Chains A and B, each alone.
Chain A
Amino acid sequence: MLQKKICMVGAFATGKTSLVAKFVYSIFSEKYQTTVGVKIDRKTVKVKEQELNLILWDLYGEDEFQKLRTSYLRGSSGFLLVADGTRKSTLQTALELQERVEGSIGKVPFILVLNKWDLQDEWELDAESIEAIESKGWIVIKTSAKTGLNVEEIFYTLATKILEE
């Protein structure tokens, strides 16, 4: 079966782990993230009758105490850039991370995931800034870890992009 390494990056507490928790196969606990800085999960998707095993490297969210370990990005076929829609600063972090990831492993398919769409009342990202990002050719998908909205979608879209490469 075809296997691809996928990384999930984003600022601290953007809900990366919660986003996938219910949708992936896992054997490791969350404490790996705080110790080793990464937690590995597996997600199998079917794109055009072809099954694809996505080995998902859920990297520790970057904060003021811990930086992203770029060595974990090596060999990735794509990545998910996760931001919290209720915290504008996390989008800025995501944009910075995108540059660093690209600097580290080159241009690979990625998706900007705006999480916590179930908290629309507290949403801080305005439509203009999202449109501006989309105009750069980026794929932006709003998700909710709580309701499961678009979660399967982000994996399917990223897998499709990777196979098109």
Chain B
Amino acid sequence: MSDKNGNRFAEESLNNNHIEDNKQLNDLGKLSELRSLLLGIEEPQLNRFYEKLDNPQVDAEDISGILPEAIVLRTMKDEQLSEAMVPTVEQAIQSSVKKDINILSQAIFPIIGPATRKAIASALDEMLQSFNYALEHSLSPQSLKWRIEAKQTGKSFAEVVLLRTLVYRVEQVFLIDKQSGLMLQHVVAPKIEAQDPSLVSAMLTAIQDFVKDSFNVRKHEGLHTLEFGELTIWIEQGPSSVLAGIIRGNAPEDLRLVFQDAIEKIHLLLGREFKNFSGDTEQFAASKPYLEACLESHYKNPNKTRYIYAWASVGALAIALGTWGVFEYRENKRWNNYVQKLQAQPGIVVTKTGKRNGNYFVAGMRDPLAIEPKSLIKQANLNPKKLDFQWQPFLSLERKFVIKRAAKLLQNPKTVTLKLDNNGVLQATGSATREWILSAREKEPSLSLLGITEYQDKTLKDLDIDQLNTYKKEIEEILVLFEQGTTKLLTGETEKLSILSSKVQNLIDAGNSLEKDVSVEISGHTDTEGDFEANIKLSQKRARSILNYLTSQGIDKNRLTTKALGDQNILRPESTPEDKKVNRRVSFKVIIDDVAK
């Protein structure tokens, strides 16, 4: 202290006399040098030291130097610093959110995705575990007992399985005011039914008081455990409140540490609220996370490899459902195609389709002339045994059916073609005997019953035996002429062939109408040039070439015959080349017979 005073004195002298002579300055300098030599301390350092002593307040710069290390050391020691910082950090977050929500959103965005996935995976895992337990025990002898229990208690089988494989589960946790027994906070595990927690809290307090009063326990001792059957109540005492956990099963002693930790943290966090408590329990909402941390549970055989039961079952179920789905889809598609096809058929009207007793059914109306619906089943790849039909008969006015019915009524010969137009007018074309034409006209009133509005036969040719003979005569008058020694027609003869073809067809039609068997004999001829055999062959070739032409024009081959006459039946004596030309010919003979009945 004397040094300090001496120094001050020296400094004051220096300040007061700095304008005085240099001699004094030199003396002071020497004095400082001497002090430095004696004490070993540099003067600037000493001055800073004095400044610190004069100003006892710690400045921010000093704290900033030691704060990080101090935080690390305290965090390593215990959790009190973290707990104490919670309200400040919460307030800081609230302020940040109020100020600009985007900053915090952007900061936590990268962790939201993984956290969500983890939560979902965890929930799925728990669900699978529960499912697995249920499956694993569903076929054991014990399961029968549990099923009976489930029936008796009204719980689900899975619930009973979980209950019976339970080691322990904290079902409810109460935070109770020690003084009044009022419930400050209460949490309950999922799917647990809880009675009114405020009444239970009060009763628990009363029971504690009852035990204390009845058994003369020391004032500060409290009730720690209550047991009733498979239920245990653990009570942890805090300075102002108690934490009571309702546990089913046998909890390990380690769980007490969790309870103790929770009550300690709650008191650290809400010390002021406990002190000022006057019935408002909302201010204890902050204790909820600590209480929820106490809701632990533990089940037997949590062996993950057993998940194979659940996975196998889920997999088998998925495969079965998938296969069933594919077959069902395919069958439905086939069924729809079949119904569509059926609806497109003339003479069929589908009014209702569906499935009944596992079988498909079709109901509607069907014309007796329409296609048989069962004949389409094979095409649709459907099982005929799984199809039921309900048809009501009706007469369709489809053109196809009307013509069919008219033909049946009129008994028209093949030479008559029936056509029905959009106005319901039936037209008969071709040729027929007078007898048939008259009989058809007589049946016109009956045709109206089939939906025909009018019958017309104006273009129908009236045939009789005279007409047939006319055709015969016309055909037999035709001669087709050839060049000498070949089967090549003379110029201009080709046109005769088309006329011939038309007349032969008319002849055959007329023969059919008159029920006559008509045929045409084609005779080949040569002139007298050349030897006999060569002429026979040539005449055969000529007759054959005409036959080929007629059949190529659609004339029935069975109606045609050929004959080779060579030069045996010349038409004219050959005195001029013109006579020879006429002899190189093919002639026709029509044979008419009655049809053998």
Q: CB within 8 Å of B: which residues of A?
A: 1-5, 25-28, 32, 36-38, 40-42, 53, 55, 57, 69, 71-72, 74-77
- CB of B182 within 8 A of chain A? yes
Chain A residues with Cβ under 8 A from B281's Cβ? 1-3
A40-B210 contact given A27-B195, A74-B179, A75-B177, CB 8 Å threshold: no
Question: Which of A2, A25, A72 contacts B209 (CB under 8 A)?
Answer: A72
Chain B residues with Cβ under 8 A from A32's Cβ? 203
Chain A residues with Cβ under 8 A from B177's Cβ? 75
Q: Is the CB of A75 within 8 A of B198?
A: no
CB proximity to A under 8 Å, residues B116-140: none
Question: Which of B179, B182, B199, B280 contacts A41 (CB under 8 A)?
Answer: B199
Min CB distance A57 to B, Å, is 7
A36-B207 contact given A4-B279, A27-B199, CB 8 Å threshold: yes
Question: Which of A27, A36, A75 contacts B181 (CB under 8 A)?
Answer: A75
- CB of B196 within 8 A of chain A? yes
Q: Is the CB of A55 within 8 A of B179?
A: no
- CB of B202 within 8 A of chain A? yes
- Residue count of chain B within 8 Å CB distance of chain A: 23
Binary interface profile of B, 264-299, with partner A (CB < 8 Å = 1, else 0)?
000000000000000111100000000000000000
Chain B residues with Cβ under 8 A from A1's Cβ? 281-282
> Which residue of A is nearest B182, CB measured?
A3
Q: CB within 8 Å of A: which residues of B?
A: 177, 179-183, 195-196, 198-200, 202-203, 206-207, 209-210, 212-213, 279-282
Q: Is the CB of B196 within 8 A of A75?
A: no
Once bound together, how far apart are the Cα atoms of A12 and B180, in whole Å?
24
Chain A residues with Cβ under 8 A from B179's Cβ? 74-75
Once bound together, how far apart are the Cα atoms of A5 and B203, in whole Å?
12
Q: Is the CB of A71 within 8 A of B212?
A: yes
> Which residue of A is nearest B281, CB measured?
A3
Q: Is the CB of A42 within 8 A of B198?
A: yes
Min CB distance A152 to B, Å, is 20
Q: Is the CB of A74 within 8 A of B203?
A: no
A-B contact list, 10 entries, CB within 8 Å? A4-B182, A25-B196, A28-B199, A37-B206, A57-B206, A69-B209, A71-B209, A72-B206, A74-B179, A75-B181
Which 8 pairs of residues, A with B, have the shortest CB-CB distance? Answer: A75-B180, A75-B179, A71-B209, A5-B180, A40-B202, A2-B279, A3-B182, A38-B206
Once bound together, how far apart are the Cα atoms of A138 and B379, in whole Å?
101
Chain A residues with Cβ under 8 A from B183's Cβ? 3
Min CB distance B175 to A, Å, is 13
Chain A residues with Cβ under 8 A from B209's Cβ? 69, 71-72, 74
Q: Is the CB of B199 within 8 A of A55?
A: yes
Min CB distance A65 to B, Å, is 15
Q: Is the CB of A5 within 8 A of B202?
A: yes
Once bound together, how far apart are the Cα atoms of A3 and B200, in whole Å?
14
Chain B residues with Cβ under 8 A from A57's Cβ? 181, 202, 206
Chain B residues with Cβ under 8 A from A40's Cβ? 199, 202-203, 206
Question: Which of B181, B207, B213 contacts A55 (CB under 8 A)?
Answer: B181
Once bound together, how far apart are the Cα atoms of A53 and B195, in whole Å?
16
Once bound together, how far apart are the Cα atoms of A41 and B198, in whole Å?
9
Chain B residues with Cβ under 8 A from A5's Cβ? 180-182, 202
Once bound together, how far apart are the Cα atoms of A1 and B283, in whole Å?
10
Min CB distance B201 to A, Å, is 8
Once bound together, how far apart are the Cα atoms of A55 and B203, in whole Å?
10
A36-B202 contact given A5-B181, A75-B179, CB 8 Å threshold: no
Q: Is the CB of B279 within 8 A of A77?
A: yes
Q: Is the CB of B198 within 8 A of A3?
A: yes
Chain A residues with Cβ under 8 A from B196's Cβ? 25, 27, 42
